[in-house]
Amino acid sequence: MKKCASCQTPYPDEFAFCPLDGAELEDPGVYAVGTTIRGKYRILAKVGRGGMGHVYKALHLHFNEVRALKVMDPSLTQREEFVRRFLREAFVARRLQHPNAVRVDDVDTTEDGRHCIVMEFIDGRMLRDVLEHEGPMPTARACSIARQAASALHAAHQLGIIHRDIKPENIALIKSEQGDVVKVLDFGITKLREGRLKEEAGGMDLTATGTMFAIGTPEYMSPEQVLQKDLDGRSDLYSLGLVFYEMLTGRLPFHAESQAEWFLAQVGELPQPLRERSPHLRVPDGIAELVMSMLEKDSARRPANGEAIIKAIEKCERENPGLSGLVPATGRLEGEKGTGECTTIPAFFEGWKKGSLITQRYKILDKIAEVRMGPIYTALDSAGEQICALKLVTPWNIPSAELINQLSEYFQRMQRFQHPHVVQTHDLGQAEDGVLFLVNEYVRGLNLRQTIDRDTCIGVARACRIVWEIAFALDAGQQLGMMHGEIKPEHIMLTGAAKSEQTKLLDFSMDRVKEALPELSDSDLPSGMLAPLHYMPPERISGQPHHPTSDIYSLGIVFYEMLSGRRPFEGNGIEIALRQVQEDPFPVDQVRPELGIPPSVASLVMRMIQKDPNYRPPDAHTLMEEISAV
């Protein structure tokens, strides 16, 4: 019963305010913030209510540490069966010491005679909350959560403990530098099998009375649990399989409107295969097969134990390194190669729809381009109300470990590199569907390819200014030990009005990322996605390393094209490669003599595209000086 703080009139628990004076009703069973229990636990906040009492955040005054207190409801203290179940929960959980299970420290009794369990305080989010607000998870994250939960269950099953209520509401996620740390809650709704715990429990009757259906949640109950058969650890694995399925698809494999329908579905309905439930799901075959095996109606056909689930996930991670999640690069010894890189045939990728919210932050506005790496979208960044560009990274493939490492290193490099003529990179993320993406500054305007296609050629003064600004950016990058690696008109943006036009260089220092992209054939890529060879320096075509004058060569080809409207070498891929290495280009001022290109400018262009790097301008700073001179 609740009581009015003003008139002291008692009311049933469903009342929140006093009908007589409107005052808020007090619940005598709830401790107020600031209350001290047993002289050592100060209540900081009420954080929830369980089946048998309230849960509080409390400060242990002696240790100055935060704890969680689960305090039995006063109405249950005189009911012997509930007291026994409450103590059983503490007894069971105290014996289970595992990093992925909530730790129980003590059992105590409050001054007014209520039993309480002192537990580790979990400062995190419940999996249910994450699923409701964020939807389906990337495969890597779902695998990590399932693996940790399976580890806790395996430890419990070895002690003879069966959880019997695995569901998103009983799985907490704590953020850490390595990702989610899983904590499985409520190991108290259990059944002890033969084992040392049953013997240690002595005369305690550990079988709860009442209907079996009161223990567990119909949406996540195993068939044998519904049928009230003897349970073993594989019952929990079935429930974990349902959670795993829901993490990947955002939905359960069955649909039901009532408790009875859920029971019938768990016993008699075959689960819908993962990819039928979510046709665009990008998940390795091994993971899909594991999840469906966990949902077998016959427990004998499921994985034998939690350890088997862990091994299956780890095997898939070795075969698909991208499942290890998006993590910073850990470094690699010189000459050491990554193992198990995935170069699978591209899966179907439908694209992101207008209005989609990515990582609860970026609202998709429009698709503006498609390049070899993937589509590019404009999006509204809700954090700063700014328009940005989202560049997807090979959405047709599961990312390899090498690609993830190179992306992380690229992002770290670009955080150090801020320049007015370089498009800035703001973020590196992984969407709910598992696709990696870069968040770049959005530049309004045309790229140089579009400009040349429209105008044929560009005036000398404007072309010299564009080349000078690019050289300015290259010089700044070289001071940090960075090179562009793939200068071409498509990577040069022109923004602003004619008199205030400014150059912005895209994809600075992304060459190593692109080298880590999966090796795809022409037919595997969307049409027109193959990188052109027109701007590639001879030393790169010959397999030599890229160096600063390689960028100068590529920029020289762009300079040549801006002035003449043509590239020095044309043909198919093999023809261009051979001509780049073997032939001397036709002098730029003789391609279209009517344009009147000054000899000093033509001479500079031709030196920039010399076959021998030693005859080119030695660095970007020297190139800036020479452009200024002409």
Q: Give catalytic residues, as residue numbers.
A: 165
Q: What Å distances lie between residue 581 and 485, 567, 610, CA to CA?
A: 18, 15, 10
Compute the distance between CA of residue 53 and CA of residue 70 in angstroms, rounded to an integer: 7
Note whether 143 and 320 are within 8 A (CB): no
CA angle 32–36–39, rounded 5-degree value: 165
Closest CA to 344 of 375, 325, 316: 316
How do 425-430 and 436-441 pair as beta strands? Answer: antiparallel
CA distance 31 to 54: 9
Chain-centre distance for alpha carbon 619: 39
Structure-token match 């002690």, residue found: 159
Q: Which residue has the tokens 């899983």?
A: 182
Q: What's the DSSP call for residue 138?
A: P
> What is the Cα–Cα distance from 86 to 102, expressed in whole angstroms?
16
> How many angstroms separate the CA atoms of 616 and 550, rounded?
9
Kindly state the DSSP code that residue 168 receives in the 8-state scheme: G
Type of residue found at 390: L
User: If DSSP codes are grouped into helix, strand and coil, which group holds residue 492?
Assistant: strand
C-alpha dihedral sign at 583, 585, 590, 592: positive
φ, ψ for residue 73, nearest 5 deg = -65, 135
Please state, in angstroms and as integers, the Cα–Cα distance from residue 210 to each residue in 82, 217, 396, following that order: 12, 15, 53
CB-based contacts of 133, cutoff 8 Å, min separation 6: 360
Measured in whole angstroms, how far is the alpha carbon of residue 414 from the centre of its chain?
20
- The whole-angstrom separation of Cα 148 and Cα 131 is 17
Residues 418/462, Cβ–Cβ less than 8 Å? no
Q: Are 282 and 139 in contact (CB under 8 A)?
A: yes
In whole angstroms, what is the distance from residue 582 CA to residue 289 CA? 53
Please report, for residues 93, 161, 197, 239, 369, the alpha-carbon distance to residue 89 in angstroms, rounded to integers and kept in the order given: 6, 11, 12, 20, 58
Nearest to 237 by CA among 302, 152, 316: 302
The helix (run of H) or strand (run of E) holding residue 581 is: helix 573-582
What is the C-alpha end-to-end distance of the chain, expressed in Å? 91
CA 351 to mean position of chain CA atoms: 17
Cβ neighbours for 456, distance < 8 A, ≥ 6 positions apart: 565
3-state secondary structure of 41: strand
Amino acid identity of residue 49, one-letter, is: R
- Cα–Cα distance between 103 and 174 in angstroms, integer? 14
